[in-house]
Amino acid sequence: MSADKPKPAGDIIFRPWITLKNGKRLYASQVGKKAFPIKVKPKDKKTD
């Protein structure tokens, strides 16, 4: 009995670095990864 989980809104992109709150870049290779997953919100599609 597995419950269906709702699909998360947005997409996931992968970046080789992240910028920390102190302004420094942390590269994925420094922590043994190829990339960091980042959640992004979907863009609103405007209809004219």
Q: Report if residue 36 sits inside a domain.
A: yes
Note down the domain range covering 29: 11-40
Q: Could you tell me if 14 and 37 are in contact, meaning their C-beta atoms sit under 8 angstroms apart?
A: yes
Tens of pLDDT along 5-39? 766 678 899 999 999 999 999 999 999 999 999 99
With 70 as the cut, is the pLDDT of residue 2 above it? no
Evaluate whether residue 23 is within a structural domain. Answer: yes
Q: Which residues pair with 12 in a beta bridge?
A: 39
- The predicted model gives 38-47 an average pLDDT of 79
Domain assignment present for 2: no
Cβ atoms of 41 and 13 closer than 8 Å: no
Report pLDDT for 13: 94
For residue 1, pLDDT beyond 80: no
Identify the H or E element spanning 17.
Answer: strand 17-19
pTM assigned to the model: 0.64
Is residue 45 included in any domain, yes or no? no
Amino acid occupying residue 45? K
Count the domains in the chain.
Answer: 1
